[in-house]
Amino acid sequence: MADLNIPNLNMKSDKYIFKKKLSLRRKSKRRLFSESVFLFIMSLFLVYINYLIPNKNLLLENLPNTLNKTFKLIIELFSTLYEIFLVIFIFVSSFTALVLMIGSLYRLFRVSKRKSKQLNYK
C-alpha cells in the first residue's frame, strides 16, 4: 500500500507552468519610439559601413571563384591531415612494439636466470 500514488488535486496544470514568467505589460509609446529610432540609426550605420567598402562589385563577381578555391583548400587540408595522422600512428605503434619486445625479452631473460629452489621432501 506504500507504493500507491494518489494524485494531488491542488496542483496546477502543466500547461500554465511558464505563464507567470511572461511579461504581459505593454511597452509605452515613448519606449517604442526610442527603440525604433535606435534601430533606424543602427541601419544607417550599417549602410554607411557598406558604402565605405571599396570594390564591392569586384568582390561580388569573384565570390564563386573564391568559394571554389576555399573548398579545394579544405579538401587538401583533410587529405594532408589524414597523412599526418597516419605517420603519427606509425611512429607510436613502432615505439609501442619496441617497448613490448624489450619487455618480453627482459622477462624471458629473468625467467631463464632464475635460480630454482629444490625442495627435498622426506
- How far is it, in rounded angstroms, from Cα 1 to Cα 121? 69
pLDDT digits (tens, 9 = 90+) for 54-103: 999 999 999 999 999 999 999 999 889 999 999 999 999 999 999 999 99
Least confident segment among 36-40, 50-54, 114-118: 114-118
Q: What is the pLDDT of residue 16?
A: 60
- How far is it, in rounded angstroms, from Cα 107 to Cα 101? 10
Mean pLDDT of the residues in the chain: 84
Q: What is the pLDDT of residue 91?
A: 96
- How far is it, in rounded angstroms, from Cα 99 to Cα 105? 10
pTM score of the predicted model: 0.42
Q: What is the pLDDT of residue 7?
A: 63
Mean pLDDT over 12-32 rounds to: 70
**At CA 106, angle to CA 105 and CA 111, rounded to 5?**
95
Mean pLDDT over 22-30 rounds to: 77
